[in-house]
Amino acid sequence: MSKKLKKNIGFAAAISTVVGLVIGSGVFFKPQAIYTATNGGPGLGIIAWILGGFITIMGGLTAAEISAAIPKTGGMMVYIEDIYGERLGFLTGWMQTVLFFPGTIAAIGVIFAQQASELLGFTSDNMRVVLPIALGIILLLALLNIIGSSIGGGIQTVATICKLIPLILIIIFGFIKGNSTSIISPLTGPGVNAFSALGQVLIATLFAYDGWINVGALAGEMKTPGKDLPKAIIGGLSVVMAVYLLINIAYLWIAPASELAKVTSPATLVANKIFGPIGGKIITVGILISVFGTLNGYILTGSRIPYALSIQGYIPGSKYLSKVNKGGSPVNAIWLTSILACIYALSGQFNLLSDLTIFAVWVFYTLTFIGVIKLRKEKPDMNRPYKVPLYPIIPFLAILGGLFVVINQLITAPLISSGGIIITLIGLPIYAYKKRAA
């Protein structure tokens, strides 16, 4: 088998991957966690969507400079290695390989299964139904991506187009049929301190915004990464933020935040109120297509991380994980990511898995933002097809946002944060062993 990935991913597939990775489970399901944290107060939730979007766009504008300057397969892992050295680069890839990608795939698979379970007439907590669906959808998409990266990119483009339909319908009819009530007042419900709750709701919105940086992992398979990658990240995020704000206003104009906090799928609740039971089911199918596309995007990009690590011989089984089939896909790396995801999915916990992965990945996002400033100082003559505007203001804002996320999680969710740190640090003895054996 060849070890060279084919350059067959263009701008359309790249921007579809950004939008597809970001708009998925979060916008449909995270309002429950947000308005539960605010005790039914809508204001703080809307602020968190705006602030989360702002932090994400600042991060996207910042990280795109490195993505364009270092257009190699591996994404953030490669950026960190070039900036900070081999050990930290490996640790980034290790975290993504064993925690972030499989954990996120598992979380999305679980929420897909819960929504499908309700559509089939079962309850969302019926694990006898939910777990087989979750495992089945993960393995199905693994098989489709093994056929070839161009097929994975094609699935992404089609799913992204399909997912916009329920979003647009909810937005349009939500504004037409909804009541123009306040979406800012009250800021929180009784007994909730707005400042202390902000971190919790921001983590939820950042999960909904997450995925934007992962298209960088496809750089080695893109036709013109220096030109297309920054446009895909920035253009995709601008679309996402606009959609998120509009649809969350539409949600609140149809159902109060206190009601959205009580259901697994606030989007389905709103769709049922707007279109009735049958129309609501049709919209739910559209939501499932959206989540399907997001899941595919994470499998498509996530499997490239263990592939990149294996090319360097850094992880156990590198000889097998570096193999690429005739369709141009890293077949064994896809299986590794998907099998780990299935193991995580056995927990059946959407919010727990998503919180765990968001904390771990934002540690390295923040290092990436800092890396832009570090590279500007150490390598001023480096070829930069794209430069972050308003430097150094935008990178500084991105760094502040990242530090807030990481520190807040350490304080408010120490057990989840500790789990992420332990799983990540397990990579250090593995790296040391492989270096000695080399």
> What's the predicted TM-score (pTM) here?
0.86
pLDDT at residue number 376 = 96
Output the furthest CA–CA distance in the chain (Å, rounded).
Answer: 67
- In which band, very low, low, confident or very high, does the pLDDT at 206 lie, cut at 50, 70 and 90? very high
- For the chain, the structural domain boundaries read 11-437
Measured between alpha carbons, how far is 263 from 331 in angstroms, rounded to an integer? 38
pLDDT at residue number 419 = 92
Cα–Cα distance list, 202 to 2, 34, 78, 150, 359 (Å):
43, 8, 28, 35, 12
pLDDT at residue number 369 = 96
Measured between alpha carbons, how far is 20 from 30 in angstroms, rounded to an integer? 17
Count helices and strands (H / E) in the chain.
Answer: 19, 0
Mean pLDDT of the chain: 86
Residue 128 token pair: 């006898």
Residue 225 token pair: 């990464």
Choose among 430, 373, 427: nearest CA to 398: 373
- In which band, very low, low, confident or very high, does the pLDDT at 2 lie, cut at 50, 70 and 90? very low
pLDDT at residue number 1 = 44
pLDDT at residue number 60 = 87
Cβ atoms of residues 10 and 223 within 8 Å: yes
Mean pLDDT calculated for residue range 339-364: 93
Mean pLDDT calculated for residue range 71-88: 85
Whether the bond into 42 is cis, omega within 30 of 0: no
Measured between alpha carbons, how far is 273 from 285 in angstroms, rounded to an integer? 16
The per-residue pLDDT for range 16-57, each reduced to its tens digit, is: 777 776 777 788 889 998 999 999 889 999 999 999 999 998
Choose among 343, 341, 347, 351: nearest CA to 130: 347
Measured between alpha carbons, how far is 17 from 103 in angstroms, rounded to an integer? 19
Cβ atoms of residues 349 and 358 within 8 Å: no
User: Does residue 74 register a pLDDT over 80?
Assistant: no
The CATH classification number of 11-437 equals 1.20.1740.10
Cβ atoms < 10 Å from Cβ of 210 = 24
Residue with tokens 């595919």: 296
